[in-house]
Chain A
């Protein structure tokens, strides 16, 4: 259940940004979460709901954008089909993860007086 630790890091980062912009509250957070990031979106949402109380995010919505895993060949850029061996079917090079390991805070919407 490292989702609680992730939420704590998220709230720390948002508090810092809010302070530097002189914000009094946060309305919405946008997060990108990769399928192979090792973070479960539903657990992250639950952890966020519990942890946001008494923070500047107390009334802020959390918008989680899920990113599908995408493996490709680093040499010829061929896509590697899901559920197959992680080698290029054309040139046999080991696949590279092109997308799907993101745990990223994209955007904060904050109220500035």
Chain B
């Protein structure tokens, strides 16, 4: 011990931390979640590859739900607010988060966006994450559920290649099913792949273009709204 021998060298002190490196993000996410719960807003973290059809699903959701669901969105992209503009044109109040070079949203970015956005009277707030099957899976935002959009053109083994993303999913929306006649993809192979990475695989095939399966997606959302005890907010 250098204090004892007097050599003047600094003492080497081991400090046990045992803490999640993203504990700061998790604290902010818990704070967001508390706000959402207090206002009875169901918050979905919608993830998926670029071009998997996340924005189109939200547009079709708004068109189908009409006045039954007060839907709002926060959409994250590296640049442009094109998605938020598209969603606003579809009647969905939306705010864009442009992340610059960041490949994911984090709880702080979402918390900041809440300050510029009237989200408190919504039934459902969809956070459309940056298109990416890797990084967004790592960050809790304060959502009630994770939904992953997987389009039929992406290949049936996508879940096996990106297990972390699909492990965190509460629901997988298989999008663009109107393209099924044109792509060599087998539904049973997608189910099989999901069963290897999701303990409870839940897959809903939808087409934003034809509306096929969208009613089942809406039912899933309404069930989650009811589970959260905010049934009075659904204007059926």
Residues of chain A at the chain B interface (Cβ within 8 Å):
1-2, 5-6, 9-10, 12-13, 17, 21, 23-25, 27, 31, 36-39, 71, 83-87, 94-97, 102-113
A selection of 26 A-B contacts at a CB cut-off of 8 Å is: A1-B135, A2-B104, A2-B138, A2-B139, A6-B22, A9-B21, A9-B22, A9-B25, A23-B13, A25-B10, A36-B164, A83-B196, A86-B196, A86-B197, A86-B198, A94-B200, A103-B138, A104-B20, A106-B17, A106-B18, A108-B15, A109-B14, A111-B12, A112-B12, A112-B13, A113-B11
- Are B11 and A111 interface neighbours, CB within 8 A? yes
Point out the residues of chain A lying under 8 angstroms from B23, CB to CB: 13
Q: Which of B10, B15, B104, B138 has a CB less than 8 Å from the CB of A37?
A: B138
Interface size classification for chain B: 35 or more
Chain A CB within 10 Å, residue with most, of B13, B106, B197, B198: B13
User: Per-residue CB proximity of B1-13 to A under 8 Å, as 1/0?
Assistant: 0000000001111
Query: Considering residues B15, B25, B138, which has the most beta carbons from chain A within 10 angstroms of its beta carbon?
Result: B15
Please report the C-alpha to C-alpha distance between residue A71 and residue B197 in the assembled complex, in whole angstroms: 10
Residue B163 CB within 8 A of the other chain: yes
In the complex, the chain B residue whose C-beta lies closest to that of A3 is B135
Cβ A86 vs Cβ B199 within 8 A: yes
Contacts of A36 in B (CB 8 A): 163-164, 167
Determine if A104 and B18 form an interchain contact, defined as CB atoms under 8 angstroms apart: yes
B199 and A103 contact, CB distance less than 8 A: no
B102 within 8 A of A: yes
CA A113 – CA B195 in complex, angstroms? 55
State the Cβ distance, B156 to closest chain A Cβ, in Å.
16
**The one of A1, A5, A97, A102 that contacts B167, using a Cβ cutoff of 8 Å:** A97
Of the candidates B19, B21, B25, B200, the one having the most CB atoms from chain A within 10 angstroms of its own CB is B21
Decide if B103 touches A2 in the complex (CB within 8 Å).
Answer: yes
CA distance A15 to B229 in the complex (A): 43
Complex formed: what's the CA distance from A5 to B22 in Å? 10
CB distance from B130 to the nearest CB of A (A): 10
